[in-house]
Each structure stands twice: as C-alpha cells, then as structure tokens.
Amino acid sequence: MKTKLKLCIVFLLSLSIVTNCCLLSFAHTTNNYIYWGEAEYDGLNEIISIPLILENNTGLMGFRIIVSYSNSSICPIKVNRGEALVSGILADSISASTDGTFDVLWSGSSDFTADGELCIITFGINKNALGSGFSLSLSYSKDDTFNENWKDVNLNCESVKYFLLSEEGVTEINQSFIQRLLSFLKELINRLKSFLTMQSLSQTTDSEQEVVQ
C-alpha cells in the first residue's frame, strides 16, 4: 500500500510541474499576448508607471484596449507611447473616465509587427492608501482591433494583476500562482482521500474473503 501511495503522490506532483510549466510559457507561445510589465515607483512624485507589453504580434493597424482599475488607491494620469509604437496616433480616454475604466487607442496607416512596449501608463497614488492593494485588468474592443486588411485581430489580454502599495514601493502579488497552488493542493487531498478509501475497501474485502475461507 505504501508503494502505491508513493507512486500516486509522485504522479500528482509530476502533473503539477508540467501544468505550471505550461502556464508559465503561455506568454511566449500565444499570439498577440498583452500583459503588464514591471511597475516603476516614484515616491517623491507619488506616481507609478506600468508598461503594457505585446508579445507574438501578428500585425496590427489599430486597437482599443480597455484598462480597469480596482479602487481609489490609484488614479490614471497619462499614457505615453512605448518603444514598439514608432508611428501612428496614440490616444486615451482618461479625461472622460468616471467608472474605473479607460481606453487606450492607437491607429496607423499600415500594420506594425514589432513586439515590446505599446505604452506606459502612469497612475497617481493616494498616499493614505499605503499598505493597501489594488488590481488592474485588461480587455479589448474586437470591433476596434484590426490589421491592414481590415480583419479583426484577437488579443489575448492578461486578466487581473494585483499590487501592494507600501512606503518602499509597489510590489506585484502573484495571485494566479497562489490560486493554482491552492487548487492543486485541494485536488491532491481529494485524490489521496479517494485512493485511501479504495485501498481500505480492498483490504476489507480481502479480510472478509479470508474469514469465509
């Protein structure tokens, strides 16, 4: 029984490692993947700047990305052009934002196919919120995201990213990893319970057969 239990644990741990490796490589294999880069903290001016990064670009002539932020801990200030957008018109709807969302829009005269920073978004920090967290999420408008052939382009946007504000700066909280770890542990416990239950039933059956004999 101990041997079977060890084999079961080894199998589940191996499965977890493979799953995590697949998840970690998602950004490197998925077309038009947009995600948040590393946050830069300016404590003197009470701002943070976070780039939006595009990987595996298949060609874009226009896009509209929707940014959502969680609470009053931060407030969007401006959007600056990133190194990947060397031409075209970049705009945003920060001035009209009232519901915790704003748009980042870009259009050009032909496809750009470079990977890298699309833009850098600067947020003001509410100093009274130090010690609390906030989240940022991305989505896009399919009708306003297209290539030079005027065909829709699907963007794969990073869902939610969590940050913690402190006197030292802004720290990313890898919430997705924590959730995956908890899910794995829960699944591991359930599988072990099922395995042990089956082993117990098997031993009971064997004992009953020995008594009959």
CB distance 136 to 172 below 8 Å: no
Which SS3 state, helix, strand or coil, does residue 44 take? coil
* Residue 56 or 71, more confident: 56
- Which of 63, 51, 111 is closest to 87 using CA atoms? 111
What was the pLDDT predicted at 90?
97
Q: What is the pLDDT of residue 6?
A: 44
What average pLDDT does the segment 149-167 reach?
84
% of the chain at pLDDT higher than 90: 45
Gap between the Cα atoms of 55 and 44, Å rounded: 32
Q: Where are the domains of the chain?
A: 23-176
pLDDT (0 to 100) of residue 29: 64
8 CB-near residues (< 8 Å, 6+ apart):
191, 192, 195
Decide if pLDDT at 199 tops 80: no
* Contact assessment for residue 169 and residue 131, using Cβ atoms and an 8 Å cutoff: no
What pLDDT score does 15 carry?
A: 43
Question: Which amino acid type is present at position 36?
Answer: W
**Can you give the pLDDT at residue 206?**
59
For 23-176, CATH number?
2.60.40.680
Task: Count the neighbouring beta carbons within 10 Å of the beta carbon of residue 209.
Answer: 9
184 falls in which pLDDT band (50, 70, 90)? low
Q: What is the pLDDT of residue 21?
A: 46
Integer Cα distance of 16 and 36 in angstroms: 25
Whole-structure pTM value:
0.68
For 73-98, the pLDDT digits (tens) are: 889 999 999 999 999 999 999 999 88
Q: Give the integer Cα–Cα distance in Å for 151 and 155.
A: 13
Token pair recorded at residue 109: 């005269």
**142 Cβ neighbours under 8 A, 6+ residues apart:** 152, 154
- In angstroms, the CA 81 to CA 88 distance is 10
